[in-house]
């Protein structure tokens, strides 16, 4: 009986700590102005992203071996970041081309690690579309969407662990290492919410425009992805990034609101640059 009371007491401690940790972690995002519950500091996000980078690389065919393409993608990505408000964030952005020629996808880890597969690159037609996808992923980073979801998921995991302690009478000595490994796996398979996607569309559009790209690139990209099928299914990107209803119409509305007199002619599409870099 005494042992059961001790285990129940431990589980209650876990629950209380989890509640205080989660609900006491509210902070204002300096880029979006939103109040968020994020338990990781920016530096911890950077560390988590660095640790998860190798797992991503291994799962998606390794890094594409052509250094010229890697350099080009990084150049476009850094332009999108540095010439927009994303450049004011504390994250050291890195852009990587993955050798997976079958999976049409792009994704980001907290802390600024951004990835795009060669299959996604092959679906693009111009540099503005590339800037659109990289801007969208950079928006997930600065909006801290991954870290927000981790905070919610880890709170739930803590409650499960509390039940396990009550049932088994012990605490896993490798809990911190297990949580880190679990967090990386959760990030790799992360599905963003509809609200996250719409916010990243809006921010990503702003980022690419600030960098001098025609915002129609992101609209064209979504149209391309909607028309592509892999083995009878939508591209993986639309699975990990849920496609909100009327997404293209909403993007077009944002562009019309931003440029009521029409898109300025100096905003570029970067025609044929993708073809030249990938030798397609």
pLDDT in tens for each of the 280 residues of the chain? 545 444 444 444 444 444 444 444 567 877 777 777 687 888 888 988 888 898 889 989 999 999 999 999 999 999 999 999 999 999 999 999 999 999 999 999 999 999 999 999 999 999 999 999 999 999 999 999 988 887 776 644 443 343 344 444 444 544 544 555 566 666 666 678 888 888 999 999 999 999 999 999 999 999 998 888 766 677 888 877 777 668 899 999 999 999 999 999 999 998 665 655 555 4
CB 112 within 8 A of CB 50: no
**Residue 99, SS3 per DSSP:** coil
Pairing of strands 94-98, 113-117: parallel
Buried b (16+ CB within 10 A) or exposed e, 197-214: bbbbbbbbbbbbbbbbbb
253 burial type by CB count under 10 A (0-12 exposed, 13-18 middle, 19+ buried): exposed
The dihedrals phi and psi of 63, each to the nearest 5 degrees, come to -75, 140
What pTM does this model have? 0.79
Give the contacts of 264 (CB within 8 A, at least 6 positions apart). Answer: none
């Amino acid at each position: 009986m005494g042992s059961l009371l001790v285990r129940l007491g431990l589980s209650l401690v876990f629950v209380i700590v989890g509640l205080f940790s989660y609900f006491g972690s509210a902070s204002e995002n300096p880029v979006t102005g939103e109040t968020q519950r994020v338990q990781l500091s920016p530096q911890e996000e950077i560390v988590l992203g660095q640790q998860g980078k190798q797992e991503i690389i291994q799962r998606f065919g390794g890094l594409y071996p052509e250094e010229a393409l890697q350099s080009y993608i990084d150049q476009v990505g850094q332009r999108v970041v540095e010439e927009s408000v994303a450049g004011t964030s504390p994250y050291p952005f890195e852009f990587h081309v993955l050798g997976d020629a079958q999976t049409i996808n792009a994704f980001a880890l907290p802390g600024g690690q951004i990835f795009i597969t060669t299959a996604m690159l092959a679906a693009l037609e111009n540099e503005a579309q590339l800037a659109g996808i990289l801007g969208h992923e950079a928006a997930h980073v600065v909006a801290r969407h991954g870290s927000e979801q981790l905070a919610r998921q880890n709170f739930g995991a803590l409650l499960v662990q509390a039940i396990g302690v009550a049932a088994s009478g012990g605490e896993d000595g490798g809990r911190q290492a297990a949580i880190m490994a679990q967090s990386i796996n959760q990030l790799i398979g992360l599905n963003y919410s509809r609200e996250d996607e719409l916010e990243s569309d809006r921010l990503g559009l702003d980022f690419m425009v600030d960098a001098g790209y025609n915002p129609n690139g992101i609209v064209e990209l979504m149209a391309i992805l909607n028309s592509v099928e892999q083995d009878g299914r939508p591209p993986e990107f639309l699975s990990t990034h849920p496609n909100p209803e009327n997404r293209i119409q909403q993007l077009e509305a944002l562009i019309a609101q931003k440029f009521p007199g029409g898109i300025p002619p100096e905003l570029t599409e970067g025609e044929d640059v993708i073809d030249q870099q990938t030798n397609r």
